[in-house]
Amino acid sequence: MGFPYSEADWAVVDGAMFMGAGGAMTGIYTAITIVGSIILLWKCNRVEQSLYESSEN
């Protein structure tokens, strides 16, 4: 991804220093975590419901 400043020297950094600062990647990472977490909860809920059903038998 590369250093987000034109000069590879920490002395030029006076604000955000994280990977993807000032670009689109931060939003993409956040979107991945939100969508991924929702899908995960949906799948894990299906597993949980099947466990309840199997415990009745």
Partner 1 sequence: MEEQLAELTARIAELEASAAVTNTMFAETYYYLTIPLMIIIHAGFLGYEMGATRMKNVLSSGVKNILAFAFMVPTFYWFGWWVYWAFPTGVTFSVGPAGISGAEYANAIALGWGEAAQYMGPNIADQASGVFWGAFTLFACTTASIMSGALIERIQTVGFVICAIVLGSFAWVVAAAWGWHADGWLVTQFGVHDFGAAGLVHAVAGFFALGVLINLGPRIGKFNSDGSSNDLRGHNLPFTVTGLMLIMVGFWGFLMACIIVPGEAWSWYPDKATTIYGTPITLSALSFNILMGMGGGIIGSWAFTRDPFWMMSGCLAGLISVASGLDLYFPSLAFIIAFGAGMLLKPAADVLERWGIDDAVGAVTVHGTIGIYAMVVLGIFATGYPALQGAEGEVARISLIGQIVGSIVFFLLGFVPGYIVSYILKMAGMLRVPDHVQINGLDPVKVPAQAYPEGIPASPAASN
Residue 14 Cβ, how far from partner 1 at the closest point, in Å?
A: 9
Rounded Cα gap, residues 56 and 14, in angstroms: 61
Residue 49 Cβ, how far from partner 1 at the closest point, in Å?
A: 14
What are the residues whose beta carbons fall under 8 Å from the beta carbon of 26, sequence distance 6 or more?
A: 18, 20
Tokens of 13: 């950094």
Residues found near partner 1 in the complex (CB under 8 A): 1-3, 7-11, 13, 17-21, 25-26, 29-30, 32-33, 36-37, 40, 43-44, 47, 51, 54-55
Which is nearer to partner 1, 40 or 49 (by Cβ)? 40
Could you give phi then psi for residue 10, rounded to 5 degrees?
A: -65, -20
